[in-house]
Amino acid sequence: MLESDLINDLQTRGMRLVDPRVGHESRRGGAGPSDHKAVTLGRTTVMVPVHTAPAFQSPYVVEAPDAAGRARVTRDGAAVATVKFPPRPRFYDLTTADGIPYNQIAVLHARNVLATTVLQTCIRYESRKKACQFCAIGQSLAAGRTLAHKTPEQLAEVAKAAVELDGVEHMVMTTGTPKGPDRGAAVLADSARAVKAAVDLPIQAQCEPPQDDAWFVRMKTAGIDALGMHLEAVTPEVRARVMPGKASVPVDKYLASFEAAVAVFGRGQVSTYILAGLGDSKEAILATGEQLCAIGVYPFVVPFVPISGTPLESHPAPTADFMAAILRPLGAMIVAAGMRSSDIKAGCGRCGACSALSTYEALGKRP
């Protein structure tokens, strides 16, 4: 099996761990890649579900690591791969002067990405009628694992330590959507400005499209290197069903904002998350991907992972065949558009750990 197909299969089926303590701790529920564990397969680090319903029944079993840290992966008893687990980051052992653990301010994703949700609240999450049905942003806060608002000073302190102690190479700043027409761009700009003053670290910011396109220049000037504005779903009926509040921002607004943002950040430095498996057809996702590539937006398509505690926790994950039917042609489409995940300065597309897309993209580079 090709590495790309194995990663795709692992990410849709999940895996069972003989020793769940290996690697650094995984989170159950909450924002970000929750219910996952980071594993390194060859030179590629990916996030694989371990706490989801499909993972509990997965044919993939990861044995306890040997003395060198290598763990054998079996499927139905037959060995299929060997993986290693990124170690627990050293910055997790530190606290701020006022006693806040660093990992309540930002966490490690994959092996070299620092990630934070600057505002752990959202105007849409507060209403059952408006909340995205897959979102768990409020769970981390309710569980006391994070802060409602990370200050620029806190983020700068943690980012500097993560670079110096753990070799972090880029940072993702996302946010719940606050009240106001900037849609979170203002708080992201303030945060990025502080981080860049403390350490030279490429930053991707993620927010809904602000009403005023002038925010793209302000964010870039503040030190944000790449921007994510996430569609999540691409057809009106699916968007209205799974994200009723966010669906009030139409796809046409996203497309107009994408064009304005690409003019500021450059081709390939603006991206969007698309969650495959929520109901959009393969054809709809690929048609949107083609449209995005033409604009210069990197279409980061990932398999939907049902997060515990959300309304969609029992929604089935997409099949590996469905994902491959999207990711294989999409990878070739991205290459043909002159974009590469490795050229993105910071963020989810560059990291690539939540999807097999970058490995399919690599297949498209071969003659």
**Following DSSP, what letter does each residue of 298-334 receive, concatenated?**
EEEEEE--PPTTSTTTTSPPPPHHHHHHHHHHHHHHH
Dist. CA 224–CA 235, nearest whole Å:
29
Dist. CA 176–CA 138, nearest whole Å:
9
Dist. CA 260–CA 243, nearest whole Å:
24
pLDDT of residue 130: 85
Cβ(194)–Cβ(153) under 8 Å? Answer: yes
Dist. CA 294–CA 296, nearest whole Å:
5
pLDDT by position in tens, the chain (length 367): 788 999 999 999 999 999 988 877 666 655 556 688 999 998 899 999 998 888 999 999 999 999 889 999 999 999 999 999 999 999 999 999 889 999 999 999 999 999 999 999 898 887 778 889 888 877 766 767 778 899 999 999 999 999 999 999 999 999 999 999 999 999 999 999 999 999 999 999 999 999 999 999 999 999 999 999 999 999 999 999 999 999 999 999 999 999 999 999 999 999 999 999 999 999 999 999 999 999 999 999 999 998 888 899 889 999 999 999 999 999 999 999 999 999 999 999 999 999 999 999 988 654 3
3-state SS of 38-99 is: EEEECCEEEEEECCCHHHHCCCEEECCCCCCCCEEEEECCEEEEEEECCCCCHHHHCECCCC
Structure tokens at 49: 């579900």
Q: Residue 178: count other Cβ atoms within 10 Å of its Cβ.
A: 18
Q: Which of 317, 278, 282, 300 is nearest to 360 (CA)?
A: 300
Structure tokens at 24: 């650094």
Cα-flanking dihedrals φ and ψ of residue 227, to 5°? -130, 135
Give residue 237's identity as a one-letter amino acid code. Answer: E
Cβ(73)–Cβ(83) under 8 Å? Answer: yes
| pTM across the whole model | 0.94
pLDDT of residue 367: 32
Cβ(95)–Cβ(152) under 8 Å? Answer: no
Structure tokens at 224: 């944000």
Provide the Cα torsion 231, 232, 234, 236; round to 10°: -90
For strands 78-84 and 36-41, give the pairing. Answer: antiparallel
**Residues 6+ away with beta carbon under 8 Å from 270:** 226, 227, 228, 229, 258, 261, 262, 296, 297, 298
Residue with tokens 């081709």: 267
Dist. CA 164–CA 143, nearest whole Å:
29
